[in-house]
Structure 1
Amino acid sequence: MCDAINSTLARYWWGQKYDEKKFHWISWQKLCTNKNKGGMGFRDINAFNLAMLAKQAWQLIHGTHSLFYRVYEARCFPSSMFLEAPLGHNPSFVWRSLLSTKDVIIDGLKWKIGDGKRIGVAMHKWLSHNPIFNGEPNPELKVNDLIDADTRQWDRGKVHALFIARTSCNS
């Protein structure tokens, strides 16, 4: 549906009728680029749809007291959290659509460390940049393991042993 809408918008912009071919002076991607970045500011319907779906999926992560959350939790992810939820054996169109946004949400997520007991050093995005490891990190290693229990500060010895020098302790 979104592709059909985008196609109709593009045909209108380029003045194309169904049976004729016109030369496209500018790509659709450039037309959909922000005006302040040199584009025409058209809305890419696919990206807009994905953003609206991600907004609803975000409610399945944070709006845990809403009826929307309770219905979907009971039906689609009773034993896990939304980001770990499987597709299931008979998913609805809406559930498939919500799950299609998981990658968008995960790409934008960053953990709030807290005590660091649930955050995997190599598995989760907990730094503002991708860490560069000295060798292969233990997949079971948690951020809490890099914090000195007495001082509640980074254990610099462990940090320097695990990461190369360009990965900062201050993140």
Structure 2
Amino acid sequence: MGYEIERFLGYVNDGLLCCICRDVLEHPLQAPCEHAFCTTCIHGWLVHHNNCPEDRQVLAVTDLRALHRYMRNDLSRLQIQCKNYRSGCEMVCSLESVDKHERECEYGRMSCIHAGCPVQFERRHLDSHLAVCEHRSRECPNGCGYAILSAEDLHHNCIAELRTELELLR
């Protein structure tokens, strides 16, 4: 699937649209007949068909090539909004640099880094989530040296933990 055309600023030439999904080409490939497709789109098509979806000429995966240089240059110069624009990101950059931005975008969704925590949030809220995450571990404040999860705070018993450890050492 390609990039949604609504994300682009200015005019996008029809030649830069995938012949299958009709979005702006993403990881483009070109057939010998010069029709262009997103890699995902054309590979999905060729699983069930052996021809070009536009002109029905015989086509195999091995026939596909990289897009002509002038078309790649035109694509790379297009100005696109970050995919997180609906969440508030105002970044507009060239198509060739959008992937790097989106990997680091503060408005991008991510999962908590603590094992077992199912919470997802925008990257910009990572620090505030980590401060209250029930799956974060910290050293016991009573001095026994155990690392405990915040959710286990109320049930942690230093004496019982140390007795269990002592029994294991015997």
Q: TM-score range by the shorter chain?
A: under 0.3
TM-score, normalization by structure 2: 0.25
TM-score, normalization by structure 1: 0.25
User: Which structure is larger by alpha-carbon Rg, 1 or 2?
Assistant: 2
